Amino acid sequence: MDLIKFCIKRPVAVTMAVLLIIVLGVVSLTKVPVDLLPEMDLPILVAFTTYVGAGPEEVENAVTKPLEEHLATASNLSRIRSISTANASIVVLEFNWGTDLDSVQLDVRQEIDMVEAELPDGVDRPLIMKMDPSSMPIMMMAASAEDTDLPTLNRVIEDKIKDRLERIDGVAFVSVEGGPVNEVRVLVDQERLSGYGLSILQLVQVLKAENLNIPAGDVVENHQKYIVRITGEFNSVEEIRQLTMLTPRGVPIRLCDVATVEQVQDQSEQYSILDGVPAIGIGIRKESEANTVQVARAVKEEMAKISEEMPGFKYNYAFDQSEFIEASIKNLFNSIWQGGLLAVIVLYLFLQNFRSTLIIALTIPIAIIATFVLMYFKGLTFNMMSLGGLALGVGMLVSNSIVVLDNIYRRQDEEDEKPFLAAERGTTEVTNSVLGSTLTTVAVFLPIVFVEGLVSQIFNDLSLTVTYSLLVSMVAAVTLIPMMSARMVNLKEDRLREQANEKNKFQQFVKRILGRVSKRIDWLTDKYRQILSWSLDNRRKVFAAVLVALVICMVLLPVVGTEFFPIADVGRISVSVELPSGSTIEETKAICEQIEGIARELPEVDTVFSTAGTVGLISLPGMPANSEQGSLDISLVDRKQRKLSDQQVADAIRAQTKLIAGADIGVEAVSLVGMSGGTDIARPININIRGDDMDTLRILTDQLADLARTVPGTREVDTSFAEGRPEVQVILDRTKAAPLGFTAGSVGQVVRTAVNGVEASKYRVAGDEVDMVVQLTENQRKDITNLKGLILTSPTTGLQMTLGDIADVVITEGPQQVERDNQQRSGAVTADTMGRPMGTVHDEILEKVKQMKLPEGYTVSTGGQAKLMADAFEGLAGVMILAVILVYMIMAAQFESLLHPFAIMFSLPLAIIGVVPTLLITRTAISVPAFMGAIVLVGTVVNNAIVLVDYTNVLRGQGYELREAIMRACPTRLRPIMETTLTTVLGLLPLAIATGEGASLQRPLAITVIGGLVVSATLILIVIPLVYTWLEDISEMVSGFFRKKKTAKGMNAGA
């Protein structure tokens, strides 16, 4: 080929091209961002609405249902779910994969604008946001200061530190948690207020009307233009106290005559504690496209500067995601160079020539560095998937070069050709084979683009990096290898050099070792030749044995088990705490401290960051904290410094927390791929029951939970129906209220203002806005008797009366939350798995579900990781089928034959015989990474068969008989097949045995490829030649039949 000749004759040009690639690769290496996983664009929008003071059922009817009715009309909507809790409504819109969320978000906002008028007063404007996994905090710090109280520290962090951190490039938002709430409270004495004939709503209106700055235009005097402003905003708390109001009789009174006004910093909503020390939490969220590691480093540098500038200021990291990312990336880089080194050692043992080994070994770094360039221009990141692709391909990168160099060697040795001629002819001879084997490997990754869902987003980077590196290695094999071989590979000179160095003891030692390796390879070749000859004579016996082995593996396949993704030791444990409804923040704090003490006793625990008073599912500014809930984020020491895994540590903590009475405590190790905040994939088992009646749903979910607990391997089985929330209901007597001008809305406003308090206005001080909250004094709103005695003023008669005069006040119990699925009420049973594959546990639970007798109108559906796993497997199965078709088409085009590629395709089922036992022996379940490994095998196992069939066809073209061609081609190609197989397997070995951070995510893929490749490569050497002869026999029979038929027609015509 002209390109091969050009490269051989122009070494300087080729060298400069390689150096250019290296320079660009080094530059790209410094610019490619680093992250844990590829950027994921989830087609999910969340509509979040606050309705402070409302119960779950009230939120459902007044907010959630109207929102659902309007938002359900959005295009490409696949599912709509909602959760109505006290004070908040969360509506989750799940769209079809591939939906343009920017366009849909505009439509959703228009629907929000339409429904907003239907929402009751007091409901905040719904907030629409995308579900972005990268929006979760990448690090959390706990700050404290010597000789400084928390309110002062909180103010310093809000005023100074937060702004400095948010100015860092890549930081999107800094949250401050656990600090006291700063507000101006107007605590009204209703007896005094009513004595003056005023209502609490009138007081609120006065505050709103007085605390205003109003622009009033401009005036001109002496040719000078002046802006006119009415300045009415309060300048001090004392000014608020002295605010003058008029009674209905026109008597002026001051606000302090009827209310107590004070500016307070209240710690009653939330507490943050790090390792037993009260602190202020500082959470860092990065921009979606920012480099996590770089942002974390910049934050650490800035925090170090702040610490130096502020004596006494202390901070510790509760968790830092960048540390796990850096450790995981480092482990993958180690796997890459270790795999490359093992591959080079194998090459040297086979080639037994340092310069030849060096020539092939150079293709590994060149291909990897060139891939960096392509990754940069493609916009990829260094993550566990993209680097996993490089680690997967590192052993394959030398395969093409091995085939080329082996053929060049053969032509110098057997044909006695000179180096330049051998390099040209040897490369040309196998170029089609190299091209075909590369394209078949690359082709299996092409169908990934047709898969929708989370799997496509996660594995897209892996597919691209493998494809890039293999294509570059193919180009290097037909350009760089012949150029270097023509100048560095000369068998005659090498043999003369060896004879001249016979007295060198070290070289003699190496020569003896290499000689033993050569003898072993020659012995294997002789044995293989004998086995192949026997197999050709006993084809039926060989086919029967292979078929039996294949059937056994298919029978054992269900025993392997299935799971979504393998459990990864992230080194973090999450603990959720929920106390009975109505519990105080102090009680929640005490439970959190008790759990923290349990965790601190374990040597594997590094830090414990606890928060008492969480905000539920989604943390957003303005959402009221829940005093009954708490959470702990437990960070463990480095994996190498502890004996127990994160799952085992979680089990130890769980065993101790079961002894704590009065709280529902959940303990689980943080998942590497589990999401939070609106998606339902965090729990492995998630089974939903839909129906209309809450009581019936509660009974059904309790029954299902009891059944799930009987299935071995389940733990943390829970339902979405927590203990009911006690509530006081005010039932208006309309026959009494209507004549007096009272409506449910007007009474509700008074009660809400009196009990919960309302924000009347904003008090601006020192550049900050502080809420001005109006409510009754604590002793006038602390119990039901006070509530009944709440004084109301009739809008029509002006008469005053108590709430008890026109309404009944009763105690009842309402739900903690109301869940809806596709606009129908639902309940869920969730569970984690332990000791058994998730798929097996899930299937057994579904069998239990079939035993339940569901009432009419109630249905069961699955969600969580089990649902995602089923969808992923279905998509990947389609990818595998399409990959098989593409591989066949490429080979058919390469061989210009439909028959020979069919023979090669028989190598695919042989891989099953290797995969199933390997997964069983290593106790590895079939997961998404393992499935990807099986897809990779489709493109790799055929390469060895291609080498055999291609050379057999070459010999038959030279006049060899069928058996003679096979007996000559197969032993000749044994050596390069062994080389390529061993380099690929050993290149993956570090990935398969790695135990560091993030290793478990790649291990199933590597184990699957190794098991399938080793066994299939061995069986291919026997089975494929037999299939080849079998198909040739069939072809001869068919051809002979048509020849006889044609001859008979000719004889009849002659007669």
Please report whether residue 423 resides in a domain: yes
The residue type at 768? D
Please report whether residue 96 resides in a domain: yes
Q: What is the pLDDT of residue 808?
A: 85
Full residue range of the structural domain in which residue 223 is found: 182-267+726-814
Specify whether 366 is located in the same domain as 461.
yes
Identify the domain boundary among 441, 466, 500. 500
CB atoms within 10 A of CB 828: 25
Specify whether 396 is located in the same domain as 484.
yes
Q: What is the pLDDT of residue 1047?
A: 60
Q: How many domains does the chain have?
A: 3
**Selected residue with higher pLDDT from 453 and 861:** 861
Specify whether 362 is located in the same domain as 495.
yes
Is pLDDT above 50 for 871?
A: yes
Q: What is the pLDDT of residue 1008?
A: 92
Please report whether residue 163 resides in a domain: no
Residue 479, SS3 per DSSP: helix
Is pLDDT above 50 for 676?
A: no
Nearest to 344 by CA among 390, 402, 420: 402
Q: What is the pLDDT of residue 866?
A: 83
Q: Are 359 and 485 in contact (CB under 8 A)?
A: yes
Q: What is the pLDDT of residue 677?
A: 36
Specify whether 806 is located in the same domain as 768.
yes
Is pLDDT above 80 for 753?
A: yes
Lowest pLDDT segment from 47-51, 127-131, 350-354, 819-823: 350-354
Task: Indicate the angle between helix axes 399-414 and 454-488, nearest 10 degrees.
Answer: 20
Identify the domain boundary among 783, 814, 845. 814
Rounded CA-CA distance 944/437 in Å is 8
Q: What is the pLDDT of residue 730?
A: 82
Residue 378, SS3 per DSSP: helix
Specify whether 420 is located in the same domain as 478.
yes
Lowest pLDDT segment from 176-190, 583-597, 658-672, 1040-1054: 1040-1054
Residue 810: CB partners within 8 Å, gap ≥ 6? Answer: 728, 729, 731
| φ, ψ at 266 (rounded to 5°) | -100, 125
Please report whether residue 370 resides in a domain: yes
- Pairing status of strand 626-636 against strand 572-578: antiparallel
Identify the domain boundary among 769, 784, 814. 814
Specify whether 356 is located in the same domain as 229.
no
Rounded CA-CA distance 656/672 in Å is 25
Specify whether 15 is located in the same domain as 65.
no
pLDDT band, very low/low/confident/very high, at 674 (cuts 50, 70, 90): very low
Lowest pLDDT segment from 268-272, 601-605, 654-658, 1024-1028: 268-272
Q: What is the pLDDT of residue 552?
A: 93
Specify whether 397 is located in the same domain as 488.
yes
DSSP states of 482-529 as a string? HHHHHHH--HHHHHHHHHHTTT-HHHHHHHHHHHHHHHHHHHHHHHHH
- Tell me, what CATH number does 777's domain have? 3.30.2090.10
Specify whether 360 is located in the same domain as 491.
yes
Please report whether residue 977 resides in a domain: no
Give the predicted TM-score (pTM) of the model: 0.79
Phi-psi region of 264 (alpha: psi -120 to 50; beta: other; left: phi over 0): beta
Specify whether 3 is located in the same domain as 60.
no
Please report whether residue 837 resides in a domain: no
pLDDT band, very low/low/confident/very high, at 612 (cuts 50, 70, 90): confident
The residue type at 307? S
Specify whether 51 is located in the same domain as 106.
yes
- Tell me, what CATH number does 100's domain have? 3.30.70.1430
Residue 302, SS3 per DSSP: helix
pLDDT band, very low/low/confident/very high, at 675 (cuts 50, 70, 90): very low
The residue type at 355? R
Please report whether residue 773 resides in a domain: yes
Residue 167, SS3 per DSSP: coil
Please report whether residue 405 resides in a domain: yes
Tell me the residue length of the chain. Answer: 1055
Specify whether 115 is located in the same domain as 82.
yes
- Tell me, what CATH number does 373's domain have? 1.20.1640.10
Q: What is the pLDDT of residue 994?
A: 80
pLDDT band, very low/low/confident/very high, at 495 (cuts 50, 70, 90): low
Tokens of 559: 């025993």
The residue type at 1051? M
Q: What is the mean pLDDT of the chain?
A: 82
pLDDT in tens, 690-748: 988 888 888 888 888 888 888 898 887 888 876 666 677 788 888 888 888 888 878 88
Give CA torsion, residues 840, 841, 843, 848, to 10 deg.
Answer: 150
Q: Which helix (H) or strand (E) holds 1050?
A: helix 999-1054
